[in-house]
Structure 1
Amino acid sequence: MPPQRATLLQVAQRAGVSRSTASFVLAGRHVDMRISEDARQRVLRAAQELDYRPNLMARSLRTKVTKTIALVSDTIASDPYAGRAIQGALAAAVAHGHLLFIGETEGDPVIEEKLISDFLDRQVDAFVYASMFTRYVRVPKALRGRKVALLNCVTRAVKPVHHAVIPDEVTAGWSAAKVVIDAGHREGIHVVGTPAESVFAGKERAAGLREGLAGAGLKLESGIECEWWPDSAYDAVLAALESGLRPRVLICLNDRIALGAYQALREAGRTIPGDVSVVSFDDSELAAWLRPQLTSIALPHYQLGWQAVELLLTPDAEPAVVRVPMPVRNRASVGKPAGSA
């Protein structure tokens, strides 16, 4: 049998104080309850000697606070790259003395409804509603009126009802433009990937990119349309090169596109960055694996998770959309224009 856990009454008896005094000390309320320093030290010493741990279940029944948060995601929890958001959320929860429960729906609304219902039955204090890809969402009906922070997603509401934390994709586009401009490129700049209206990241990255170039009096010369996967990017870039396109810079809308672009450039006999500089977004593991290593604007997964929980646990914070900066990871795929000093 497991050893019997010490009770609050036993702590009070060993410290020579009342049960309520011991309770106030262990709850950190010794100052407002005017408990002497000597009594406080006796209670703390008794608690340590008895290895006292509070009964959290009893406390939650009494206070209606369980110090638990539920994170409900589509596939973010099982993705080793995006899973950094889980690590950030977990670290913030622990820093605030909370437990983080994690549930994954795989995008199935039936599973989502069941998960949320189960978490509500366990009386969690708040929810983080997370998405693998940045997108617009509708908050499930069961979560309306509850404390919710949206992670990597937003609603279309004009006035936010919940906290929402997303990557600053527009500024990331500006950052990509600045990388190219700082390297001395003024022409032959092409974007690779289809920035469809339905793809939140692509639309915002392309918008920021165009604005950043325009600020320096430059513009994109063309867009090489492709899906956001290596094989589609390879086919599209190779076809463009074979048709006579001579790019100086390819700005790829994600690292998988960049992988396909690398293969196409290599097959066409173009060197990186000697003939063509390549810039990308996401900073996935691919970026460091490629040769030369790929300059990429990083998705701040850990910071997204941390910030979502921080906002959730900040008292009286007004709901707002928070955009988290995306840092530039400068590597070897960007060089000066061919022929420059």
Structure 2
Amino acid sequence: MTDIAKAAGCSQATVSLVLNNTAGTRLSQQTRDRVIEAARELGYVAPTFSVSSGSASLSKLDGVIGFVVDQLGTSPEAVVAIEGARQASWNAGNVLLVAQTLGDPAMEPRAIKALTDSGISALIYMTIFTREVEMPAYYYGLDIPIVLLNCYTSDYAFPAVVPSEIAGGQTATKHLIAHGHHRIATITGEPWMQAAQDRLTGYRRALATADIPFDPDLVIEGGWSASAGYSGTMRLLSLPEPPTAIFCQNDRTAVGCYEALKEKRLRIPEDISVIGYDDEDICRHLIPPLTTSVLPHMAMGEWAIEHLDTAVPPRERRHEITKLECSLVKRSSVSSPGGSKADLKVQTA
């Protein structure tokens, strides 16, 4: 494809789109003809070329897209994103090849080389934690489209998609405020993580918008685990004035929160409301089912595939970071302070 691109005077990505006959691409017939003619002259014989109605066309040939992620086993988000990319890839007749690198400085370049040697026409690069990354120089030299998923670079050289975490934290907190809560606690993730920082920022913005004073005693530093949710909830319940609602910044934390509240014989949501974040499968099976926010990794995987055509080299173009909504899934773990009668007033207001 590199040789054909040089001969046809276009990018390797354009060659890939033409040879794979990728649906939905806006390439002129003149460009398609030029690529096919260059392929013929270079003796490229993998597909069978044919001419129909005066224009050249290709028989359908499946493309191959590489998907690199630093970690697969720590949480379901990577698998969900891969599934979103897989669905979008298969819809266009493309195959997805996945590699886990653990961010290893020696093994990651070898994994990328193995993918490029196998003939991938594009690459998606994902990190399990939302963050800014410094892409090694060899990525800039790859002559294929590259999209970043759940991460971004400071030079904005690659299209990037991340969750809208600040808005997600704000939406979750506003939902509690709308039910009449003013003493709202939150159990955060690890403070060095951008997702935890952004969700806390959203929490504080929602309080400020509602003119509710920020109380640092209601913010418990956690660690995304059920044990952190349990211990954090116990600390909150020991306050002279405990909260009426707890925003757990992930669902595993909420599981521990549920256990602590039940141990104290407090009812959810009649005595205290609980809201989570991530929408893991367990949310539907808790008693009561947990109100939570969706991490849009499925949509992010789809977005990455759909925007490969904007990621073609060279890397001089600057791309805005796309943020996808963390929508709220309303279930039964939130009501107004004081129980069902007050909650009915909120619903009818």
For 2:33, the equivalent position in structure 1 comes to none
Matched, 1:231 2:240: no
Match of 1:192 among 187, 190, 194: 187
- RMSD of the alignment, in Å? 2.8
Q: What corresponds to 1:151 in structure 2?
A: 149
Note the C-alpha offset of 1:193.
2.0
The answer to whether the aligner puts 1:206 opposite 2:187 as a matched pair is: no
Please give the residue correspondences for 1:52-71 in structure 2 after superposition, counting only pairs within 5 Å. 54=59, 56=61, 67-71=63-67
Which residue number corresponds to residue 289 of structure 1? 285
Q: How many residues align?
A: 289
Q: Which residue of 1 aligns with 2:272?
A: 276
Match of 1:132, SS state, is strand
* TM-score normalised by the chain length of structure 1: 0.76
**Deviations 1:274-328 (Å, cap 9, x if unpaired)?**
1111111111122112111110011011101000111113477962211011111
Structure 2 Cα separation of the partners of residues 163 and 28 of structure 1:
35
Greater Rg by CA: 1
Task: Specify the SS of the correspondent of 1:281.
Answer: coil
Identify which of 310, 318, 338 aligns with 2:306: 310
Q: Which residue of 2 aligns with 1:246?
A: 242
C-alpha distance in structure 2 between counterparts of 1:82 and 1:98, whole Å = 19
Report what 1:116 is aligned to.
112
Q: Which moved more, 1:314-323 or 1:282-291?
A: 314-323
Q: Is 1:181 aligned to residue 177 of structure 2? A: yes
1:267 to 256, 263, 266: 263
Cα deviation digits, residues 28-48 of structure 1 (max 9, x gap): 9745x269xxxx9xxxxxxxx
| Secondary structure, aligned partner of 2:276 | strand
Partner-residue secondary structure (3-state), 2:246: strand
What is the TM-score of this pair, normalised by structure 2? Answer: 0.75
Q: CA deviation at 1:82?
A: 3.6
* Post-superposition CA distance 1:211-238 (Å, at most 9, x none): 1221122244321222221112212221
- Tell me the SS of whatever aligns to 1:108: coil
Distance in 2 between residues matched to 1:127 and 1:239, nearest whole Å: 46
Amino acid at match of 1:182: A
2:244·2:271 contact (CA, 8 Å) conserved in 1? yes
The unaligned stretches of length 5 or more in structure 1 are: 1-19, 41-52, 57-65
Post-superposition Cα deviations, 1:43-84, rounded to whole Å, max 9, x if no partner, equal xxxxxxxxxx9595xxxxxxxxx8321101122378545411
Q: Is the 8 A contact 2:230 2:259 kept in 1?
A: yes
Match of 2:70 in 1: 74
Question: In the TM superposition, what is the alpha-carbon distance from 1:120 to its structure 2 partner?
Answer: 1.8
- Contact 2:84–2:297 (CA<8 Å) still a contact in 1? yes
Cα displacement (A) at 1:179: 0.9
Structure 2: which 5+ residue stretches go unaligned? 1-39
**Which AA in structure 1 matches 2:301?**
G
State whether residues 189 and 250 of structure 2, in contact with CA within 8 Å, keep that contact through their aligned partners in structure 1. Answer: no
Higher mean C-alpha deviation, range 161-170 or range 88-97 = 88-97
- Who is 2:19 aligned against? none
